Structure 1
Amino acid sequence: MPQLIATVATLLLLLASVLVVHFARREAAEIRRSTSAETQAMREEARDLHSEAQRREERVAQREKDLAGDQRASQKFQRALDERATVVARDERRLADQRSSLEHREREALAAVAGLTAAEARERLVAEQVQAAKDAAMSEVRRIERSTRETAQQRAREVLVQAMQRQTGEAVTETSTTWIDLPSEEMKGRIIGREGRNIRAFESLTGVNVMVEDGVNAVQLSSFDVERREIAEVTLRDLIEDGRIQPQRVEAAYARAVDDVDQRHLDAGLDAIESAGVRGISQELVSTLGRLRLRTSYGQNVLSHLVESARIAADIAREIGADVELARRSAFLHDIGKAFSHDRDGTHAAIGAQLAREHGESGEVVNAIAAHHDEVPQQTLEAVIVQIADAVSASRPGARREDSDGYVERMESLEHLVAEHAGVVKVVAMAAGREVRVVVEPDIVDDAGTRDLARTIAEHISKDFSFAGEIKVTVIRELRADAVAG
């Protein structure tokens, strides 16, 4: 029995081995078939790639042949161009030689006809050409200047007229007196007081003369010191309102008027700022501006002038596209230095610029203040606008008036300045200095030079003479010949 089992087990092992070998052979055959198919596919793909590579090599070879042909054609064309350039250069040299020969013969012929050497003929020809060019250039310059001046003047008139027509101003007169209306005739007696003690106390405290006239229901305060006169006016109005006038009350009212000076300055400055439309002014500058309410320039109130200049500058800046607020602010502050011009050294423009710089104003504003009388160059368009607005406000009819001594001195200074130019024989300032007639020596200044001299004099006046508005310069050249028949 055990032997049978062993035999069966051996047979089973052999059968299993046979089955394993059979399946292994089947799997190997399957692998060989699959590998053979893949190998065949790879061989076909390799043949395709080889064919494509051969085709590309053929195309590259053809392109190289075409390129070589193009290069040969290009070289041939370049050789043709070089040959043509050589021919052209040879022709140009031949033509240049011919032109030079013709010019030389022409110069010799001209010299023979005119009796001049070739060098002299050449110099004369060059001189004639230069003079013709100068005449043509001068004519063109005059035409351009005339056209530019007409266009600029027309546009400037439009801008200034539009700016000025928006402003209204009163004619001013400089005065040293102030009239105060009284509520009744009985108030005159109170102001005078018993045996004149009230009026004497008032005049002693204020330094102002009080004049009471019969038949006039008002009193007059007279003083050349505008600050004293303003304090006296405030004092007297306070007393008139209270009704009780005596030396002690005069002293009390005067003390209140003196104490309120700074507040009145501040109020006047604030009113001016509001009227001009300016914002952000420091309180110190506001008080300084308020002091200008008591200052005048040729009879024109300085604070009113600043307000008017600010409005004009803003209108001009708006018309030409400049910075409106910068122009308004700069024009409003341009004369602020006049509040200290009698206390500090320097011009009011320099003092005002320093004051503005100390109180944090921008560099553009400082420059506009310093440059509005050409003491320093203008750095911005707004600085030029400030100068124009200042001149417009000062030169409008009724804005200012001059005393006779100042007027004569200004006319003499203008005439002396113009007379410094060479060739000037006589100078006459006319129309209150708005026009200057200049007579020149005809042997020194020719016709063309009169225009140059007029322009030079105008530039000299603009640079070295302070004036408002415009000054017209007219140069007159007259040649007279006299003969006596015997």
Structure 2
Amino acid sequence: MKINVGISVLMGFLIGIITCYFFGRKTILKKYIQLLEQANVQAKKIIRNAEKEGENLKKKKVLQAKEKFIELKSKHDKNIYFREKNIIDIENRTKEKESKLSKEIEFYLKSNNLLEIKMHDYEKKYKILQNKEEEFKNMHKKQVKLLEKISNYSSEIAKNELIKLLKNEAKIKVKSYIRNIIEESQLTAKMKAKKIVIQAIQRIGAEQSAENAVSIFNIESDDVKGRIIGKEGRNIRALERATGVDIIVDDTPESILLSCFNPVRREIARISLQKLVVDGRIHPAKIEEIVLKTEQKIEEEIIEIGKKNLIDLGINGVHPELIKMIGRMKYRSSYGQNLLQHSREVSHLSGILASELGLNVKLAKRAGLLHDIGKIPETESELPHAILGMQWAEKYGENIDICNAIGSHHDEIEMKTLISPIVQISDSISGSRPGVRKNYFESYSKRLKNLEDIAISFEGVNKAFAIQAGRELRVLVKSDKIDDKKAFQLSCDITEKIKNEITYPGQIKVTVIRETRAVQIAK
């Protein structure tokens, strides 16, 4: 029994050794293969680097040879110039000597018969001169051939290469010069265009702001104006503070102007004024009560408007929050175009196009109505309105195709259904009709909204209203958190932040209002 156990242990030991051997061998082979692959990769890198270095060296040698050739050529040209000059001098001296010789020959002819001897000497000298000239030409040719041999370029090729180099350098300089001129002209053109646009805004900004941000409240007689203003202006101040609307009471007969970039606030102020005039009791406490009731009534009307438009378009099953957003579209504008009217047009057009293409008409109309709900929020969002609207539609359980159509109607995301391009086309058709949109009002209202947001960002601020077409900012603070000294400091801080963050024409007046009330109820 013990022998069997010993044999079993021995066999297990041998098997373990054999297994470890094969396992170790495989591991070594894998490592060897990995090392071979790494060596191959490094060898390839070395070969590539060597090839690159060889090419760079070759280019350097070619450039050096060209430079050497140009240097030798310039020296050779100088030598030729000086030799030609010497030849010209020799020719001039030879001519002088010839004239002297001719005179001497004539003299000797007259004196004796040595003409033939002199002529023979003259011909010898002339031949010597010709031989020297031929030697000079041969020497010049040898030097040119030597230079061509050194540089591996013929004289014609070298000339052409030199001309090409000069042309390329000239082209590069000309292109750079032209580019600088074009950039300078574009910069100048942009500056001039901005100046023209600013001048146009200054000329027509006030007129368009009044057209889009002012409502007229008609009254029966001018006696009502005094009651609305109240003693020392307390009624009109209370009304402006409660509604955030600038109320302008001037010499215009039987009318009061309500100025505010937010249409909902203007409507609340108009209805509140109407109720106060009918009631006859106009004082700060009654004003606050009427404004609060009017705000509640407007909220109810917003829901009714949303439901009515859904019934008109044959759309059902919409979340209550989306119904409120549809109703609020009545009091919003997009580039001067009423947002609800625009959304209804897009809904009708989307339904017609979907019907012609044989698609789901109800789905298209629903997407068209909801495509701009991202423009509804009171607070400013960093997201584009299409993406924000898509997120809200997803939150309130809308169809995936509708969410995609909302998010992609300005190409912020990819279109995945046929409903998406239909909504985009319908939006373009509705917004591109001549005279339907006024782009400048959108930037104007955004600037006023930014003013209010800056004030609200400070701690202790309760409400903020931008009035007087953005020339005044009224800030209502919490009296328990802001005292009189802090109120003054807050106005300075708000003014400084406006200067740093907003670009505006003229000046902006910042008014911080702190009010303390003591209220008790007798029972």
Q: TM-score, normalised by structure 2?
A: 0.42
Q: In proportion to residue count, which structure has more helix?
A: 2
Q: Which has the larger radius of gyration?
A: 1
